[in-house]
Chains A and B, each alone.
Chain A
Amino acid sequence: MNEEELSAIVVETLRAVAPDVDAGRLDPERSFRDQFDIDSVDFLNFVLKLEVRLDIKVPELDYPKLSSLSGCLKFLQAHAAP
């Protein structure tokens, strides 16, 4: 899966949890929480949905790595099935 496809999946998953997210204005380097309202339960649901969608298991200790778009891509590229 290339970066573009992965990015589309992350944004789609994020919008399933927080449909108010404006994908066009998402700054990949900044944390999600600094850009829009997402509470800790939303964030957990986001990670759980990503796990289902990509058929992976994200260890809880790695959750903080998924707090921005670029962080998600870096982590998922290393862990998601090709």
Chain B
Amino acid sequence: MSQNLIVKPRPGHGPAPNLVDYQAARTTFSWSRAAEGLDGRVAGRLNMAHEAVDRHAAGARRDHLALRWLPRAGEPQDYSYGQLQELTDRFATLLAELGVAKGEVVAVLLGRVPALYVAALGTLKHGAVLCPLYAAFGPQPLCTRLSLGGARVLVTNAALYRRKLADHRSRLPGLRHVLLADEDDAASPLPATAALWSLLRQADPVPAQVTTGAEDIALLHYTSGTTGMPKGAMHAHAAVLVQQVSARLALDIHPEDVFWCTADPGWVTGTSYGIMAPLTLGATLLCDEAEFEPVRWLSTLRGERVNVWYTSPTAVRMMMRLAAELPARAPFPDLRFIASVGEPLNPEAVHWSQKAFGLPIHDNWWQTETGAIMIANFAALPIKPGSMGLPLPGVEASLLRRGPHRSVTPVTQADVEGELAIRASCPSLFRGYLGEPERYAECFADGWYLTGDIARRDADGYFWFLGRADDVILSSGHLIGPFEVESALLEHPAVGEAGAIGVPDALATERVKAFVTLKSGWQAGEALRQELLAHARRRLGAVVAPKEVEFRVELPKTRSGKIVRRLLKAWELGLPEGDLSGVMVDPAASLTEDPPRHE
């Protein structure tokens, strides 16, 4: 084994890990046996919200704390499984009263507030499809997703609605109901909206009349591709099985645990682990309305007695900056397991965590399309800092090389790179991209789902992430499609062409940088740069918009006129240019037209 290995002593406190003997678990694991941990399969039905809430509310855990909500300021609010059942029943009733049919899309655009959990779980109970949206998106990505998904209902709040969607409502003819989840219902209702909490108080808390099966679509998660519009990955209720198994084995959640997932609810982690998985195990979910704030987070970990904490590398790296200022090592007596996801976690962060918390961070890997954790560093196994870990029992992972006519050949040697692939039989894999069967089919070959991530596997079987096979930008744990960024820039009258790439960033892994050429009559300069940055931020939101814009005389293009982002990236990072056949490189393309900058 490699020298760079963290071998863990047996934990001095808390229960033993759920997974102790990894090899034995891999050998004996079967999904059909694992499904016995679910309730709904008995009657041939399966519903994520039933597994997360109703089964516990019907049994001994009815009064167990399901959700503790920490508002930005003020006292925490607690919801038992029984209370969560009542509220989600009301929401499902409300959808029925609004005429929402099974399989129709309900979009949720909220931060971490109680209405998020009620709407998400109530939507699933009603058999409608939940589409979580990211509140930091600007109007353009939001409208695109609402319109592609054909959303019938949007649950949001007055501030977000006013700022991002009210002016664009005419672009969304299919959106019939906008429900505003503000605590103060009476406060000046906006036109064409309704007050969620008033409606919920009037709706009957009776069990939903709709039944769902394992293959009915439950979730619609948008993710970004290299070209074209965002892709709507659809997940079936069957994914709940892998959500539960992975939460037990990879996150080591026990039923008596307090679990804190810091992911934004607009992304897949915020749904799979920020809502569903821990509830299916009957654990307590902690949610904090506040945005990332290192000092608050440390006191939450301690004060709320968090046992299992699932966070992101960007957050960890920002907390590392605090380390020097912390008075002394703060004790976290209840914390037992820390995991991280979204982008590769650098080894320094794993070592820092050992000093700061007395525990290493367990990196794991999955993506929107896989629906649940696929590869992880496990509680009972040594950690290789910087590695994604080993496949979850029941998950077969491989490295493949693509050949002609959709053929693939396995990479069998250790430490040789290939495209990471997951055996297509894994129950949580997505069931399609909404309205794009061909794009979906292109992801599969020879019984494998090809992830678009390039990795290597070492002699011990640990996987190591190397990069994306395409031009998608990985920033703060989110995939950003360069096409969406470029489209927004092209809407500015000055911009002739645009190319967006990810450049390395110490905190966010990558940040978006855009290269633009200007139409005639426009002059490159600091004022225009600021104007373009502002234009992009207003349309796309802070997380998607470029952080840098550089002016170019020309951009490198293929003969058919497509911008070659990989070349922009190679020039930017001083990397080899690679195969240039088919690329038209005007000598001017690598020349900057940037005037000198003054900070």
Closest to B321 in A: A60
**What per-residue 1/0 map shows which CB atoms of A40-61 lie under 8 Å from chain B?**
1110100000001000000111
Contact B507 A41 (CB under 8 A): yes
Q: Is A33 an interface residue (CB 8 A)?
A: yes
Q: Interface code A9-49, partner B: CB below 8 Å = 1, 0 otherwise?
A: 00000011011100000000000011001111110100000
Partner of B296, one of A15, A42, A64: A64
B521 to chain A, nearest CB (A): 22
Q: Nearest Cβ distance between residue A5 and chain B, in whole angstroms?
A: 19
- B292 touches A (CB below 8 Å): yes
CB of A18 within 8 A of CB of B507, answer no
In the complex, what residues of A have CB within 8 A of residue B537's CB? Answer: 18-20, 37
Chain B, residues 435-476, CB within 8 Å of chain A (1/0): the string is: 000000000000000000000000000000000000000001
Q: Please name all residues of chain B whose beta carbon is closer than 8 Å to the beta carbon of A39 when the two chains form the complex.
A: 136, 476, 542-543
Contact B136 A34 (CB under 8 A): no
Asked if B534 and A42 sit within 8 Å, CB to CB, the answer is no
Segment 543-572 of B: residues with Cβ below 8 Å from A = 543, 547
Tally of contact residues, A, Cβ under 8 A = 20
Contact A60 B325 (CB under 8 A): yes
A64 touches B138 (CB 8 A): no
Interface centre among A34, A39, A44, A61 (most CB of B within 10 A): A39
Name A35's closest neighbour in chain B (CB-CB): B163
Q: How far is the CB of B161 from chain A (nearest CB, A)?
A: 14
- Contact across chains for A33 and B291 when beta carbons are under 8 A apart: yes
B505: nearest chain-A partner, CB-CB: A41
Which B residues are CB-close (under 8 A) to A44? 318, 507
Chain B residues with CB under 8 A of A63: 293-295
- Across the interface, name the chain A residue whose C-beta is closest to B538: A20
B159 and A41: CB pair below 8 A? no
**B530 CB–A CB distance under 8 Å:** yes
Q: Given contacts A41-B476, A44-B318, are A61 and B295 in contact (CB under 8 A)?
A: yes
Q: Are B295 and A40 interface neighbours, CB within 8 A?
A: no
Whether A40 lies near B325 (C-beta < 8 A) is: no
Query: Does B531 have its Cβ within 8 Å of any Cβ on chain A?
Result: yes
Give the contacting residue for A37; candidates B138, B318, B511; CB below 8 A: B138
CB distance from A39 to the nearest CB of B (A): 4
A9 to chain B: closest CB distance in Å?
Answer: 14
B322 touches A41 (CB 8 A): no
Measured CA separation A33–B541 after assembly (Å): 12
A15 to B534, CA, bound (A): 9
* Cross-chain contact of A60 among B136, B315, B322, B505 (Cβ < 8 A): B322
Determine whether B508 belongs to the interface, using a CB cutoff of 8 Å to chain A: yes
Q: Is A19 a contact of B534 with CB atoms below 8 Å?
A: yes
Given A60-B325, A61-B325: A41 in contact with B534 (beta carbons within 8 A): no
Chain B residue nearest to A33 in the complex (CB): B291
A44 and B291 alpha carbons, distance in the complex (Å):
13
B531 x A19 contact (CB < 8 A): yes
Cβ-defined contact, A19 with B542, below 8 A:
no
B118 in the interface, Cβ–Cβ < 8 Å?
Answer: no
A51 → B minimal CB distance (Å): 13
Q: Which residues of B contact A42 (CB under 8 A)?
A: 542
**A25 CB, nearest partner CB in chain B, Å:** 12
Q: With a CB–CB cut-off of 8 A, which chain A residues contact B296?
A: 64
CA distance A38 to B291 in the complex (A): 11
Assembled-state Cα–Cα distance A52/B543 (Å): 24
Chain B residues with Cβ below 8 Å from A59 are 325
Given contacts A18-B537, A20-B537, A64-B296, contact A41 B314 (CB under 8 A): yes
Alpha-carbon separation in the docked complex, A6 to B138 (Å): 30
- B325 near A20: Cβ-Cβ < 8 Å: no
B252 to chain A, nearest CB (A): 27
B137 to chain A, nearest CB (A): 9
Query: Please, how many angstroms separate the alpha-carbon atoms of A60 and B325 in the complex?
Result: 7
A59-B325, A60-B294, A60-B325 known; A40-B318 Cβ under 8 A? yes
Q: What residues on B are CB-neighbors of A41 within 8 Å?
A: 314, 476, 505, 507-508, 511, 547
Cα A61 to Cα B325 with chains together (Å): 7
User: Is B533 part of the binding interface, using a Cβ–Cβ cutoff of 8 Å?
Assistant: yes
Q: What chain A residues lie within 8 Å of B530 (beta carbons)?
A: 15, 19
Closest chain B CB from A77 CB (angstroms) = 22
Q: A61 CB to closest chain B CB, in angstroms?
A: 5
Provide the bound-state CA to CA distance between A38 and B292, in Å. Answer: 12
Known: A19-B531, A20-B534, A64-B293. A37 touches B541 (CB 8 A): yes
11 chain-A/chain-B pairs, Cβ below 8 angstroms: A19-B530, A20-B533, A34-B159, A37-B537, A37-B541, A37-B542, A39-B542, A40-B291, A40-B314, A41-B476, A44-B507
19 additional A-B residue pairs with CB within 8 Å, beyond A44-B507, A61-B322: A19-B530, A19-B533, A20-B534, A20-B538, A33-B291, A37-B136, A37-B541, A37-B543, A40-B314, A41-B314, A41-B505, A41-B511, A41-B547, A44-B318, A52-B599, A61-B295, A63-B295, A64-B293, A64-B295
Question: What 7 pairs between A and B have smallest CB-CB spacing?
Answer: A19-B534, A37-B542, A20-B534, A20-B537, A19-B530, A39-B542, A60-B322
